Amino acid sequence: MLARAGWNLLRAVLGENRETDKRSLTSVEHALWQERQATMAPRLPMSAPDISADDIAAVVAVLNSGTLALGPASLAFEQAMADYVGAAHAIAVNSGTSGLHLCVRAAGIGPGDEVVTSPFSFVASANCMLFEGAVPVFADIDAETMCLDPAQVEAALTPRTRGILPVHVFGQPAAMAPLGEIADARDLVVIEDACEALGAEYRGRRVGTFGQSACFSFYPNKQMTTGEGAIVVTDCDRTAAAIRSMRNQGRGAMGAWLEHEVLGYNYRMTEMSAALGVSQLSRIETILATRAAAAARYAVGLADIPGIAMIAAAPDTTRLSWFAAIARLDPWFDRDRIIANLANRGIPARAYFSPLHLQPVYRERFGFRGGEFPVTEQVARTTLALPFFNAISRDQIEMVCAQVGAVLADERASGRA
């Protein structure tokens, strides 16, 4: 009975539309089914994973194989990722957050240690220090790259600084040459948050190869997906061995299943996710080229609209890996009202990162106030994310740009901008 209820609920959420199914739904299931039908009307999404028939076949093959964890798909995905990034080791984990945590732990960063990082990021890139009792020390960003400003990093160093954790925001590489010089001069560890930047290149070299370790996330809004999941890459044998062990409950490479050498976690990736990863990675260059073409269309579409422009590759960015369609608005616009007005016209648009130092958890712990990282705060106030996914068509992009133009024209006409 319970099993049937669970199955019905799943079908309701998935929106299956067979009469016989509908008749057997409870009222809760029916409400879910109705909501799902409403949201299934053709509508432009903000982002959407790109799942091919081959991807589905790869996951089904794993399900049929009976090996759902710690199997050949994970090994194949790790090898393919190491080859793609150009790193000696790749370790599959179940999220970017767990991957970053293991990078910090493997670097021996612990209580009281300081790591300089960006306040313009997703919260996991700073939380991974808090997990270990270490202190994320924020340094402001460069307005053009939206990544750590090396001069600000230099100013944030103290005798307790142990590392630098740059974030390659929106697929734009951080300034790895000056950051590397700062780190070398003080013997600091560098951990790259490359969660949004698979395939991005800085001065002709792939991100993920600059730090002691780096992490790429495959959450469904990323360039490629494994559902949930991530890969940590490193050239350091010791770091790789430590991360492999810690993601698997602290087991040793040769040790027994019931023997735990160090404190570990269950941060393993499933075989289904790894198989999806192998399949997606096999067409990553096509995916990145498709996304670059869509971003270029947005740039053209927004070019004639006063007060807005797409972000662009910085001079040292030899490849921006397009994670999202991010436009910057002139500061006098009310970005949130523009988002609401676009929604009224059927166009989804979003703010992006809210500065980390202003998040309640960080304000409460560290007493941060507005105004402490002015570039981050200004960039956060003026970024506008537009719908972006592999299958977005030329017509859809033109339609979005036309609506953005109309909304901004209204703002100007009403004297609000």
Ligand X SMILES: Cc1ncc(COP(=O)(O)O)c(C=O)c1O
Task: Kindly tell me which of 167 and 400 has the beta carbon lying closer to ligand X.
Answer: 167
Residues linked to residue 88 through DSSP beta bridges, in sequence order = none
| One of 59, 109, 124, 408 touching ligand X (CB under 6 A) | 124
- Altogether, the residues listed in the chain come to a count of 417
Task: Kindly tell me which of 32 and 195 has the beta carbon lying closer to ligand X.
Answer: 195
By DSSP bridging, strand 308-310 and strand 135-138 are unpaired
CA distance 193 to 196: 8
The region that residue 226 occupies, defined by phi over 0 for left and psi between -120 and 50 for alpha, beta otherwise, is alpha
Integer Rg of the chain from CA:
23
Identify which range of 121-129, 149-157, 364-372, 387-395 contacts ligand X by CB under 6 A.
121-129
Q: Which of 21, 17, 27, 28 is nearest to 4 (CA)?
A: 21
Identify which range of 71-79, 94-102, 305-313, 324-332 contacts ligand X by CB under 6 A.
94-102
Task: Kindly tell me which of 375 and 402 has the beta carbon lying closer to ligand X.
Answer: 375
CA dist 313 to 142, 206, 209, 305, 355, Å? 13, 14, 19, 20, 22
**Amino acid making up residue 121:** S
Q: Are 89 and 240 in contact (CB under 8 A)?
A: yes
Q: Does 383 bind ligand X (CB under 6 A)?
A: no
Which DSSP state fits 70? S
Structure tokens at 63: 């399900």
The answer to whether 222 is a known catalytic residue is yes
Task: Kindly tell me which of 230 and 400 has the beta carbon lying closer to ligand X.
Answer: 230
CA distance 145 to 279: 31
**Amino acid making up residue 178:** P
Q: Are 33 and 10 in contact (CB under 8 A)?
A: no
Binding mask 311-350 for ligand X (x = CB under 6 A): ----------------------------------------
> Chain centroid to CA 194: how far?
8
CA distance 295 to 304: 15
Task: Kindly tell me which of 174 and 195 has the beta carbon lying closer to ligand X.
Answer: 195
CA distance 122 to 214: 15
User: What residues numbered 236-295 form the site for ligand X, per CB under 6 A?
Assistant: none
Residue where the block lists tokens 């044998």: 237
Least Å from the CB of residue 259 to ligand X: 29
Q: Which residue is nearest to ligand X (CB)?
A: 96
Task: Kindly tell me which of 190 and 408 has the beta carbon lying closer to ligand X.
Answer: 190
Identify which range of 37-45, 55-63, 92-100, 259-267 contacts ligand X by CB under 6 A.
92-100
Q: Could you say which of 89, 222, 244, 335 is catalytic?
A: 222
Binding mask 186-225 for ligand X (x = CB under 6 A): -------x-xx--------------------x-x------
Identify which range of 52-60, 95-103, 154-162, 344-352 contacts ligand X by CB under 6 A.
95-103
Least Å from the CB of residue 194 to ligand X: 8
User: What residues numbered 29-58 form the site for ligand X, per CB under 6 A?
Assistant: none
| One of 47, 74, 97, 209 touching ligand X (CB under 6 A) | 97
Task: Kindly tell me which of 230 and 417 has the beta carbon lying closer to ligand X.
Answer: 230
By DSSP bridging, strand 135-138 and strand 114-117 are parallel
User: What residues numbered 152-171 form the site for ligand X, per CB under 6 A?
Assistant: 167
Size of the residue set binding ligand X (CB under 6 A): 14
3-state secondary structure of 260: coil
Q: Does 122 bind ligand X (CB under 6 A)?
A: yes
Residues that bind ligand X (CB under 6 A): 95-97, 121-122, 124-125, 167, 193, 195-196, 217, 219, 230
Catalytic residue list? 222
